[in-house]
């Protein structure tokens, strides 16, 4: 089963499902460096969708682990149960359209053992059905996180993947090359990593490119056969979108959750600049 669901498929699933087996809907709209997505959620969201905050529920406090370290499993589990997430009931996650935040929620749920999670392709912008400002009060779910369901990389493992496999840098090309760094204190990339901006995984309309186009893109970047693949970005959010795109073409990739914000916090770690992996 693909982890990406179209708006039409979601509408059909909601129409056909009973009250006890309809997908749990999570609204995770988020703007990097901007205000919480709660106000836009309250202004209008998919009927039944529950808002989940990326900064406080899909990430831990910024610090030694990076700008968006993984949340404490207990905190994440409580947030998911509050939203009505059960151990086996399907979950569909959506954001404003870029796929970053929704992929982060998808990855966390899959990493902690949920078997059935999908991302709405194109986010809220792709939805043609009704919206509501009514905030639901779902019955508490019974989901209990059990970490380990997806490959997770630390700094040393990411460096090793860059040497023996393929480590993809999901940030913009300018940040990869070290020409600009608007967020973190050091510019550049992990030596050996290949530039692979997440913007190239989606179309101008905001949805993911067709599977065959994604296969061609990743093949051109060096993804082939049984090659080990890892992904990082600035703080582990947009990289999840790349992991999702790779999953769509049948490639399981490890996520360096701390990403560049964690890597460059240690001055002993090497930094490369320029267009080549280095």
Model pLDDT, residue 1: 67
Q: In this structure, are residues 198 and 100 in contact, taking their beta carbons and an 8 Å threshold? A: yes
15 and 109, same domain (yes or no): yes
Q: Is residue 238 part of a domain?
A: yes
Q: How far apart are CA 251 and CA 13, in angstroms?
A: 26
Q: In this structure, are residues 230 and 165 in contact, taking their beta carbons and an 8 Å threshold? A: yes
**Residue 233 sits in which domain range?**
152-263
Q: Which helix (H) or strand (E) holds 7?
A: helix 7-16
Model pLDDT, residue 243: 98
Model pLDDT, residue 17: 84
* Residue among 268, 261, 233, 274 nearest 103 (CA): 233
Structure tokens at 56: 């406080």
For residue 18, pLDDT beyond 90: no
Mean pLDDT across 112-128 = 97
Q: How far apart are CA 245 and CA 198, in angstroms?
A: 9
Q: Is 233 in the active site? A: yes
Of 255 and 32, more confident: 255
* Residue 240 exposed, middle or buried by CB count within 10 Å (0-12, 13-18, 19+): buried
Structure tokens at 207: 């949805």
Q: Is residue 234 part of a domain?
A: yes
222 and 183, same domain (yes or no): yes
Residue in 233, 240, 248, 253 annotated catalytic? 233
Cα atoms in the Cβ-side hemisphere of radius 13 Å centred on 7: 15
Enter the pTM of the model.
0.96
Structural domains of the chain, count:
2
Mean pLDDT across 207-229 = 95
């Amino acid at each position: 089963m693909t982890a990406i669901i179209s708006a039409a498929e979601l509408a059909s699933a909601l129409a056909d499902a009973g009250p006890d087996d309809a997908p749990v809907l999570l609204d995770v709209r988020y703007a990097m460096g901007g205000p919480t997505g709660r106000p836009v959620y309250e202004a209008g969201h998919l009927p039944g969708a529950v808002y989940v905050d990326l900064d406080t529920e899909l990430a831990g406090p910024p610090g030694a682990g990076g700008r968006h370290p993984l949340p404490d499993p207990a905190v994440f589990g409580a947030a998911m149960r509050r939203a009505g997430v059960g151990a086996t009931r399907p979950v569909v996650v959506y954001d404003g359209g870029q796929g970053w935040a929704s992929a982060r929620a998808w990855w966390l749920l899959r990493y902690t053992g949920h078997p059935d999670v999908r991302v709405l392709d194109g986010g809220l912008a792709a939805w043609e059905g009704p919206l509501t400002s009514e905030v639901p009060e779902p019955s508490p779910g019974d989901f209990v996180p059990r970490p380990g369901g997806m490959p997770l990389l630390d700094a040393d493992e990411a460096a090793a993947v860059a040497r023996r496999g393929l480590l993809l840098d999901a940030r913009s090309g300018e940040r990869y090359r070290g020409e600009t760094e608007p967020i973190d204190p050091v510019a550049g990339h992990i030596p050996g990593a290949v530039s692979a901006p997440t913007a190239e995984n989606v179309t101008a309309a905001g949805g993911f490119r067709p599977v065959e186009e994604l296969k061609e893109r990743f093949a051109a970047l060096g993804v082939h056969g049984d090659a080990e693949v890892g992904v990082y970005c600035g703080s582990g959010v947009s990289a999840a979108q790349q992991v999702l795109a790779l999953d769509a073409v049948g490639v399981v990739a490890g996520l360096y959750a701390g990403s560049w914000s964690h890597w460059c916090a240690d001055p002993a770690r090497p930094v490369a600049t320029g267009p080549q992996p280095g």
